[in-house]
Amino acid sequence: MIQISPHAEAALTCTLDERSLYLRRLVLGSVRSAGRGHVGPALSLIEMVRVLYDDVLRIDPKNPRDPDRDRAILSKGHGCLALYALLADRGFFPLSELDGFCGSDSILGGHPEYGMVPGVEASTGALGHGLSIGVGLALAGRMRERSYRTFVLLGDGEINEGSVWEAAMGAAKHGLDNLVAMIDYNKLQSYGPTDYVLPLEPLADKWRSFGFAVQELNGHDVGALRTVLKQVPAVPGKPTAIICHTVKGKGLPPAESNADWHHKNKLTDSELDAIRVAVGDF
């Protein structure tokens, strides 16, 4: 029997503030407009992305290619609605773009594309790529003696991929303490529970044994995320892994921990009503 982390229990019960609800309205507005989207994977990710873009990343939306900017890669590219909401809100592109999600002329596809979306550092969607790219960015930063940090957001299902663990070994080999892996541990992948599909536990021990300094927290706790993310590297000379215990579909009761909301097509009237009750009118 897997021991449930207290952070996982806290993730289930913690309440969301107005900014988190607002960001969910942006995400769900895109889903309503497009008639499709990965709802559950975006809603579990929102606070992780929010704290990164609001409080941690040294970035300038007016100069998105600044060589000294911090780099962030959404390796679980299917969670892009959360990223798009933050990038639009922070001014990388107009909020009105969110309504065009997945449209034929939109810059916003179902997975984020480098060169299409200002602020997106790498095209992702195929899983298991982002951490290796992040290792390259972090190594380059060190070789160039630049002070930027590289943050890579990974899904829990994503880390089924062997390439993630190749990258983890590489990051540890080079002692990349300017690299942070954030794992959105919502414990539910496309088919069902991670524990059923391919068990990950003991997850913290795995990252630790691969040479990372490991932190665990409630991934919806904005304060905890700020505290931990502002103290990276957790251990000098080591890459950091932050295991963020989250809830898939967080903030929308019908979607919470419900694999049927992994990807959602057209929202029904009753589902739209449920969304309004959960996050407010949108």
Q: Which residues bind another protein (CB under 8 A)?
A: 114-115, 121-123, 125-126, 128-141, 143-144, 162-163, 166-167, 169-170, 173
Chain centre distance of CA 35: 22
Tokens 């609605």 -> residue: 81
User: Is residue 201 within 8 Å of 159, Cβ to Cβ?
Assistant: no
d(CA 29, CA 118): 20
Closest to 127 (Cα-Cα) out of 101, 179, 164: 164
Of the pair 30, 124, the CB lying nearest another protein is at 124
Question: What is the C-alpha R_g of the chain?
Answer: 18
Of 61 and 136, the one with the shorter C-beta distance to another protein is 136
Query: Closer to another protein at the Cβ: 40 or 130?
Result: 130
- Segment holding 248, helix H or strand E: none
Nearest approach in angstroms of CB 123 to another protein is 5
Least separation in angstroms between residue 210's CB and another protein is 12
Q: Which is nearer to another protein, 109 or 254 (CB)?
A: 109
Q: How far is the CB of 76 from another protein (least distance, A)?
A: 14
CA dist 27 to 52, 104, 157, Å? 17, 19, 21
User: Minimal CA–CA distance to 30: which of 122, 107, 92?
Assistant: 107
Minimum distance of another protein from residue 131's CB (angstroms): 8
At position 34, the amino acid (one-letter code) is A
Shorter beta-carbon distance to another protein: residue 40 or 155: 155
Query: Nearest approach, Cβ of 212 to another protein (angstroms)?
Result: 15
